[in-house]
Chain A
Amino acid sequence: MRAGLGVFIGGLLAGTVLASLTLFTVDQRESAIILQFGEIKEVITEPGLHAKVPFIQNVRYFDKRILTIDEPDTERFVTSEKKNLLVDSFVKWRIVDVRQYYVSLGGDEARARSRLTQVINSVLREEIGKRNVQDVVSGEREKIMQVVREKVAEDAKPFGVQIVDARLKRVELPQEVSESVYRRMEAERRAVASQLRSQGASEADKIRAEADKDREIIVAEAYRDAQRTKGEGDARATAIYAKAYSENAEFYSFYRSLEAYRASFRNRSDVLILDPNSEFFKYLKNPGAGRPASSGR
């Protein structure tokens, strides 16, 4: 009874230990190789439960996903016009041939990274060296990325590594060049600013001048029209006068003269010095002067 139970439990334990030594799982994200004393016995790419011979075989796992090489530091490159550029890139890669990968790099990811980084940098150096800053920044950015991708892929093939993508991230000018760029930008803005200001001043002046001109024209035209109207009035008045007065020119002359005298002497301050011998005073001296009967002496 007791022994039976013991056997049962013992068997259970032994089975568990044996299973843990024999069986292993390969994750969806991984592939694995079974090594027997350092010799590759089997490459496993299918995830799931797998078995090996305990003690003499061991398993190594490799990541099957897309991996990234993204150096934190920007690398300094020289362009065709001998300018420095700081370029930062990243590469997406994947282990596709585990056997090759293990054989050539010992399955060491750090080694793979450093090898790939070297290749990437040398390709980048070559490609950037052929181009000027503007091409690197904008014009041929994609072309550079494509060339890097192809060349690095070529180079990485013996390692069992596939290059999924290589992309430039930051492309920037070194600090000292940046300063001069800032100064240039500043100068450009200042030029724009002063142009805007003087444009404003000139436009304002133009509007003012136009205002003055319009004013002169408006007033002058109005003056002209007013003078014309006045002239018309004067002409009509003259015609009326002429018509009326020409009916008896002699009388008009008399009538108008009297009016003029009246208008001329109307203030106390006008002093008349008179000679009593004038026509007006003829009766003052000689009351009978006017009478024709007594006119003879």
Chain B
Amino acid sequence: MSLNDPQWGRRGGGGGGGNQGPPDLDELWRNFNQRLATIFGRRGGGGAGGEPPSVRQLGGGLGLLILIILGVWLFSGFYTVDESQRGVVLTFGKYSQTTGSGWHWRLPYPIQSQEIVKLTEVRTIEVGYRNNVKSKVLREALMLTDDENIVDIQFAVQYSLKDPQDYLFSVRRPDETVLQVAETAFREIVGKSSMDFVLYEGREEIAARAEKLMQDILDRYQTGVLVSKVTMQNAQPPEQVQAAFDDAVKAKQDQERAKNEGQAYYNDVVPKARGTASRLTEEGNGYRQRVVANAEGEGARFRQVLVEYNKAPGVTRERMYLETVQQIMTSTSKVMIDAKAGGNVLFLPLDKIMQMSAAGLAEAMPSVKPSTETPMVPEPAARSRETLRSRDREGRP
């Protein structure tokens, strides 16, 4: 079809979007049919009319063929745009409009063409690794930090488009540009931070700062790209020094463990000492009660006896003396020797006597009044020191 046709000129100049739909198409058809009709009509009218039906037939067949070709040509102007996409229509290479999702029709080649851009679809680039964080690309991953250490970083950038026109027309290979910008931005941020910051406390912040810097640079290039998220997948010291870093982490654990062990010892020893202390205190209290009670008892007993003694001192004294001696005599072994009876040497088998008496000891054991022993101090003290020492021995690992 000739481009010089005024019809085309009108359309090309028209440039409007939505109103170039089906109604226009109908008009086109109508015009075309009219034109054909006038051509054939004139020919038919002016001709001799020798074989009009066959010519008409021929003309009809040719017309049909042209019609079909035309139809196919026009039909090639249809295209679909998905919900996540935008269509950008170019008229003779010049941007004319952006279309949303759905069915669209544009003027067919070579007048208009369309480019479909995935607008909202999230695209991802991976820096320092491919597909899996484990398959590293060291060339991209190793970065120098401010303190001249080297860190091994894997990160991913997710982005979508905010302006399909910019994305298509302002930068050659925009996706490659995103990768370049990601690298330069991230390395700049890491280069300004210390290693400890990158590896431990500052991970989030570095990603956030890189995201912002990336967006700034990409906006300056008018890439039409919207960086939605920069995530640091992994940040660690390089493999060559990994062992030393792990050891440092372990050392931290060791430190904690040692502290806890110390604390455990403390928690073991001090409560036990408190136990010992309260036992000592109670022993002291008990001792005081006992000694005082004994004293009171004995004092009272003595007073009672004294009252009666005062009534008849001589007799009482004699009785008490005799009773005591009797008690002693009955419970002990005795040997009576009249020293004056003979000057000859007396043989006493003392050991035999003691053996004999030991046999009868059990029943001869007299029950005496409670002992008046007054152990002064050292006994409990000695014991407690003894227990402490043994506990001490247990306590030490």
Contacts and interface: CB of A to CB of B under 8 A. Distances in A.
Interface in B269-291: 269-270, 272-274, 276-278, 280-281, 283-285, 287-291
A164 B289 contact: no
B2 A181 contact: no
B295 interface: yes
B335 A271 contact: yes
Interface in A229-261: 229-230, 232-234, 236-238, 240-241, 243-245, 247-248, 251-252, 254-255, 258-259, 261
A205 interface: yes
A271 B273 contact: no
Contact of B358 (A185, A263, A266, A269): A269
B372 A259 contact: yes
Instruction: Identify whether the interface residues of A are mostly helix, strand, loop, or mixed.
Output: helix
A207 to B, nearest CB: 3
Contacts of A240: 292, 295-296, 299
Q: How large is the interface on A (under 10, 10 to 19, 20 to 34, 35 or more residues)?
A: 35 or more
B24 interface: no
Given A185-B237, A271-B353, A19 B258 contact: no
Given A15-B2, A138-B191, A207 B265 contact: yes
B217 interface: yes
Contact of B91 (A30, A48, A141, A197): A48
A28 B222 CA distance: 15
A49 B324 contact: no
Given A68-B172, A272-B335, A266 B366 contact: yes
Interface residues of B, number: 143
Contacts, number: 380
Given A65-B172, A210-B266, A236 B292 contact: yes
B76 interface: no
Interface in B200-223: 217, 220-222
B251 A185 contact: no
Contacts of B25: none
A138 B94 contact: no
Interface string B290-333: 11101110111011011001100100010011101101110111
Contacts of A23: 3
Nearest to A63: B172
A49 B90 CA distance: 11
B158 interface: no
Nearest to A178: B150
A203 B263 CA distance: 10
B386 interface: no
B111 to A, nearest CB: 9
B142 interface: yes
A200 B258 contact: yes
B149 interface: yes
Contacts of A155: none
Nearest to A90: B180
B345 interface: no
Contacts of B337: 273-275
Interface of B: 1-4, 12, 39, 43, 47, 55, 58-59, 62, 90-95, 110, 139, 142-146, 148-150, 168-173, 176-177, 180, 183-184, 187-188, 191-192, 195, 217, 220-222, 237-238, 240-241, 244-245, 247-248, 250-252, 254-259, 261-263, 265-266, 268-270, 272-274, 276-278, 280-281, 283-285, 287-292, 294-296, 298-300, 302-303, 305-306, 309-310, 313, 317, 320-322, 324-325, 327-329, 331-340, 348, 350, 353-354, 357-358, 360-361, 364-366, 368, 371-372, 374, 376-377, 380-381, 384, 388
24 contacts: A25-B92, A47-B93, A48-B92, A49-B93, A68-B176, A172-B150, A182-B241, A185-B150, A200-B256, A208-B266, A218-B277, A219-B384, A222-B280, A226-B285, A230-B288, A233-B287, A236-B295, A237-B291, A269-B354, A273-B334, A273-B348, A274-B334, A275-B336, A280-B322
Given A48-B91, A273-B334, 7 more contacts: A46-B94, A134-B146, A138-B191, A168-B184, A172-B142, A271-B332, A272-B332
